[in-house]
Amino acid sequence: MPKKVRRDKRGSSPMRTGAGRTLRRLHSVKDLLAQRAPALTRVTHQAARADFWNQWLSLHLPAELRARISGVIERDGTLVICAESAAWSARLRYSIQELEPQIHAAADLTAIRVRVLPR
């Protein structure tokens, strides 16, 4: 049985041309980072603030309590300090209440929260 001619088959045309096709420009890493600069600056700012609060808390909290902190985040004027368990969260909450005037003096915050975040 003879083969069917290509034009009788369904699908794409037998002849392809480059007309109408646009070549994608390869982007360098520098170009991609320049486009994403607003998002990256936000992330680097958050990381810098978290580093600031980690250093500040390590200076003002006892070592046993500081070792139990699993994360520090500052967002929307609220400082969120995470402890690794509920028991350490309660101890941290009492220590933070004593330091609250100093924390507000260090930065313009509206609230301070202590949460539980296991490592």
Model confidence pLDDT, tens digit, residues 32-47: 776 767 777 788 888 9
Instruction: Please classify residue 83 by burial: count the beta carbons closer than 10 Å to its beta carbon, then call 0-12 exposed, 13-18 middle and 19+ buried.
Output: buried
- Mean pLDDT, all residues of the chain: 83
The confidence band for 71, taking pLDDT boundaries of 50, 70 and 90, is: very high
Q: CB atoms < 10 A from the CB of 93, how many?
A: 15
Give pLDDT, residue 17: 59
Structure confidence at residue 10 (pLDDT): 66
Indicate whether 1 pLDDT > 70. no
pLDDT at residue 28, as a whole number: 78
List, edge to edge, every strand of the sheet that includes 111-116: 69-75, 78-83, 111-116
Domain residue ranges of the chain, discontinuous segments joined by + = 69-119
Measured between alpha carbons, how far is residue 95 from residues 6, 24, 50, 66, 100 in Å? Answer: 80, 57, 19, 11, 9
CA distances to 27, 47, 98 from 35, in Å: 11, 20, 44
